[in-house]
A and B are shown apart, each in its own frame.
Chain A
Amino acid sequence: MFTEYNPINKLMFQVMDNHGKIINDKLMPEVSDQRVVKAYKDMLFARTADLQIVNYQRQGRIFTYPPNYGQEAISGATASIIEEKDWLVPAFREMGAMLSKGVTLKELFLLFMGYEEGNAYKNAKKVLPISVPIASQLLHAAGIGYEIKYNKKKELVYAFVGDGGTSEGDFHEAINFAGVWKVPVIFIIQNNQYGISTPVSMQTASESLAIKALAYGVKGIQVDGNDYFAMLKVLQESKKACENGEGPILIEAVTYRKGAHTTSDDPTKYRTKEEEESWHKKDPLDRLNKYLQDKGLWSDKEEEKIIEQFKKEVDRQFIEAENFPEYKPEEIFKYMYSETPQELKDQEHKLMEFYRWKSEKIAQTSKK
Chain B
Amino acid sequence: MKIMNMVGAINDALDIKLNEDKNVVVFGEDVGVEGGVFRVTEGLQKKYGVDRVFDSPLAESGIVGTAIGMAIAGLRPVVEMQFCGFIYPAMNQIISHATRMRNRTRGQLETPMVIRLPYGGGINALEHHSESMEAMFGHIPGLKVVSPSTPHDAKGMLIAAIESNDTILYMEPKRIYRAIKQEVKTGKFTIELGKANVVTPGNDITVVTFGAMVREVQKAMVMAKEMGISVELIDLRSIYPIDRETIRNSIKKTGRILTVTEGPMSFGLGAEISQIAIEEAFLYLEAPPARVSGYDVIVPLPKGEHHYMQDAYKILYEIERNVKY
**Residues of chain A whose beta carbon lies under 8 Å from any beta carbon of chain B:** 63-64, 111-116, 118, 132-134, 164-165, 167-170, 195-198, 202-204, 264-265, 269-270, 327, 329, 331-333, 336, 343-344, 347-348, 351, 354, 357-358, 361
Which residues of chain B (72-125) have a CB below 8 Å from chain A?
85-86, 88-89, 124-125
Residue of B nearest to A197 (CB): B34
Residue of A nearest to B306 (CB): A327
Q: How far is the CB of B235 from chain A (nearest CB, A)?
A: 24
Q: Is the CB of A132 within 8 A of B127?
A: yes
Residue of A nearest to B313 (CB): A358
Q: List 10 tightest A-B contacts by C-beta distance, closest first.
A: A114-B302, A167-B57, A197-B34, A164-B58, A114-B303, A327-B304, A114-B301, A327-B303, A329-B307, A167-B58
Q: How many A-B residue pairs have CB under 8 A?
A: 119
Q: How far is the CB of B212 from chain A (nearest CB, A)?
A: 19
Told that A63-B126, A112-B126 touch, could you supply 17 new A-B pairs with CB distance under 8 A? A113-B303, A114-B302, A115-B303, A115-B304, A168-B60, A168-B89, A170-B89, A269-B35, A270-B33, A270-B34, A327-B303, A332-B297, A332-B308, A336-B296, A354-B313, A354-B314, A354-B317
Residue of A nearest to B61 (CB): A169
> Is B37 an interface position by the 8 A CB rule?
yes
Tell me the complex Cα distance, A328–B314, Å: 17
> Is B281 an interface position by the 8 A CB rule?
no
Q: How far is the CB of B112 from chain A (nearest CB, A)?
A: 25
Q: Is the CB of A167 within 8 A of B313?
A: no
> Is B172 an interface position by the 8 A CB rule?
no
Which residues of chain B (280-322) have a CB below 8 Å from chain A?
295-298, 300-305, 307-308, 313-314, 316-317
Majority DSSP secondary structure for residues of B touching A: loop
Identify which of B33, B61, B126, B308 contacts A269 (C-beta below 8 A). B33
> Is B134 an interface position by the 8 A CB rule?
no
Identify which of A112, A198, A336 contacts B58 (C-beta below 8 A). A198
CB contacts (< 8 Å) of A270 on chain B: these are 33-34
Residue of B nearest to A267 (CB): B34
> Is B200 an interface position by the 8 A CB rule?
no
Tell me the complex Cα distance, A327–B304, Å: 6
> Is B153 an interface position by the 8 A CB rule?
no
Residue of B nearest to A195 (CB): B58
Q: Is the CB of B303 within 8 A of A168?
A: no
9 A-B pairs in the complex with CB atoms less than 8 angstroms apart: A63-B125, A114-B304, A132-B128, A133-B89, A168-B58, A196-B37, A197-B55, A332-B297, A351-B295
Tell me the complex Cα distance, A287–B297, Å: 48
Q: Is the CB of A196 within 8 A of B59?
A: no
Q: How far is the CB of B305 from chain A (nearest CB, A)?
A: 7
Interface string of B15-42 (1 = CB under 8 A from A): 0000000000000011001110100000
Identify which of A63, A118, A133, A202 contacts B57 (C-beta below 8 A). A202
Residue among A134, A264, A333 with most chain B CB within 10 A:
A134
CB contacts (< 8 Å) of A331 on chain B: these are 300, 304
CB contacts (< 8 Å) of A114 on chain B: these are 124, 301-305
Q: Is the CB of A197 within 8 A of B33?
A: yes
Tell me the complex Cα distance, A152–B301, Å: 38
> Is B265 an interface position by the 8 A CB rule?
yes
Residue among B29, B126, B298, B308 with most chain A CB within 10 A:
B126
Tell me the complex Cα distance, A176–B127, Å: 28
